[in-house]
Amino acid sequence: MGRKIFLLLAATVAAFSQTRAEADAFLKDAEAQLLKVGNAAQRASWIQSTYITEDTEALTADANEAAIHVTKQLARAAVRFDKVNLPPDMRRKMYLLKNALTVATPSNAKESSELTKLMSGMEGTYGRGKYCRDNPKDKGKCLDISSIENILIESRDPNELLDVWKGWHTIGKPMRKDYQRFVELSNKGAREMGFADSGAMWRAKYDMPPDDFAKELDRLWEQVRPLYVSLHAYVRSRLRDKYGADAVSANGPIPAHLLGNLWQQNWENVGDLVAPPNAATGYDLTKILKDRKFDEREMVRYGERFFTSLGFASLPKTFWDRSLFQKPQDREVVCHASAWDVDNDQDLRIKMCIQITAEEFAVVHHELGHNFYQRAYKDQPMLFRDSANDGFHEAVGDTIALSVTPEYLVKIGLLDKAPNASGDIGLLMNRALEKVAFLPFGLMIDQWRWKVFSGEIKPTDYNKSWWDLKRKYQGVAPVTARGEEDFDPAAKYHVAANVPYTRYFLAHILQFQFHRALARQSGCTAPLHRCSVYDNKEAGKRLNAMLEMGQSQPWQEALFTLTGSRKMDATAMLEYFAPLKAWLDEQNKGKAVGW
């Protein structure tokens, strides 16, 4: 009997060893396949984004279909190892593999091809988007998104603002039918993967149950909502002073075309209208950049030098040879700023139609944050070559941008001396118009998509529900009727290109949490909004320690590495803006708050 038990145990151990060995072999093969098809898809997407033609769209669709197919097959195959006792690193790879897709194509080959072509086509439609005016003065003049954004920056004519705002939103109309079909097919693929729908598939990526993640978003929003509501009330009051009581309600939502941004996600362009009296920042960075005759490359060089001051190596020569910094005159490109890791190694690039403004100066830092993050984790196994969660990737560059303080501008020679504290409310207002104003939009765009994917929002209510959510979260509304013949969600790149958006909301919370941790590491004792970690090697080491982890550990562990906490926390953001919040509440006394 004893020998039989021994033989049985030996056989069990042999079977276990073989199964674990199979899992190891499976993961190695999976990572090799993912690297191959991922790089091919990246190269095709780069070409399609920088040379928009029917041919490049078709090539991208084919490459993406191949990548999605391989990833989907590997994700399904990983399920067979669910009950195998694997070491933590292998178990995590299995988890990441099963949650790797942003879109799952159906198993039916015809439907799979149709879905990837729809996706490539919608992104191309967005990239080619123009508003061709029909008024007698400008009849036939066509405006691309950069031209429209310049008008939103410069014009204070409400009629012109409304005209270009409505004009840009016409680009979504042709995508409405395609988007409805895209939802049907992507949901079919997600269900074949075992998810309720595509939205549930997205929410499963965050190292916690999908329902718990949704609750976490609600908790973070409730932390920051009072700050947003105070800013909203003050800005509404100032816009009412500018445009009149007939144009702006005293207690309702803000008209969507008056906030200087096509989607009302950033209010910096109305900064001159809402600037606190007697609280000038003391400098105009856009004017400084233009007076110094900065070009696009120099904007990027300054961003790179911030990272090298922290101890990071310079970007490779190929970055400068292969990136796109300006919109070419001879072809259509997708101008939406993005960072690329084309070969999952050293072929780092950015694609951006850079304008010489303070806003773009910060965007450059943001995009380079992606590149330095990508290079930091390049030596990890393929399945770990990504950020701890997608919000981390977006947060890193913005964390650096928070260090673009007056003191930093003095250190790099763009200011002679930092303005005194009397201008801090002005500085904080400028940053709040960018960061705080963004928060509800960062939340609502995926709230809309999750409801669309789940079927809670029907195709017959796509546009109505979009504006219902914008009113609920942002407190904004259109002044002209928006019917179901319109498709305003697709006038936003991330909807047309199927890019999840909750990452940006998370990034806006995390960047302040990161910034506070790095500021404390650097020994800064000034108010948080005056702290810069520029040229602090110890802060750089701490940042790099998190970056090089990639997604080898749950995001809670990566967060702990940098901040000492395993919980996302908006109190750092509240601390940063505390002086402004007190000032806003004083200005809002006796006025309506909320909508």
The catalytic site residues sit at 336-337, 366-367, 370, 394, 494, 504
CA proximity to 370, closest of 405, 394, 347: 394
- CA-CA distance, 71 to 533, in Å (whole number)? 39
Q: How far is CA 474 from CA 232, 241, 254, 264, 265, in A?
A: 8, 20, 9, 8, 9
Q: Coil, strand or helix: which one is 255?
A: strand
**Which residues, at least 6 apart from 392, have a Cβ–Cβ distance to it below 8 Å?**
373, 506, 507, 510, 546, 555, 558
- CA-CA distance, 348 to 341, in Å (whole number)? 5
What token pair was written down for 276? 């606190």
- CA-CA distance, 60 to 42, in Å (whole number)? 9
- CA-CA distance, 345 to 42, in Å (whole number)? 12
- CA-CA distance, 178 to 119, in Å (whole number)? 9
**Which residues, at least 6 apart from 518, have a Cβ–Cβ distance to it below 8 Å?**
399, 533, 536, 539, 542, 543, 562
Q: Coil, strand or helix: which one is 299?
A: helix
- CA-CA distance, 260 to 487, in Å (whole number)? 21
| CB burial of residue 62 (10 Å; 0-12, 13-18, 19+) | middle
DSSP bridge partners of 351: 324, 338
Are 267 and 261 a contacting pair, CB within 8 Å? yes
Are 353 and 335 a contacting pair, CB within 8 Å? yes
Long-range contacts, stretch 74-80, CB < 8 angstroms, 24+ apart: 74/30, 74/33, 74/34, 75/99, 75/100, 75/101, 75/193, 76/193, 77/26, 77/30, 78/26, 78/30
| CB burial of residue 449 (10 Å; 0-12, 13-18, 19+) | buried
Phi, psi of 476 (to 5 degrees): -125, 160
CA proximity to 567, closest of 555, 553, 580: 555
**Which residues, at least 6 apart from 123, have a Cβ–Cβ distance to it below 8 Å?**
48, 49, 57, 334, 496, 497
DSSP bridge partners of 339: 350
Strand 254-255 and strand 338-341: the pairing is unpaired
Phi, psi of 338 (to 5 degrees): -155, 155
Are 487 and 463 a contacting pair, CB within 8 Å? yes
What token pair was written down for 373? 């993050």
Phi, psi of 553 (to 5 degrees): -125, 160
Are 105 and 97 a contacting pair, CB within 8 Å? no
CA proximity to 218, closest of 443, 513, 448, 516: 443
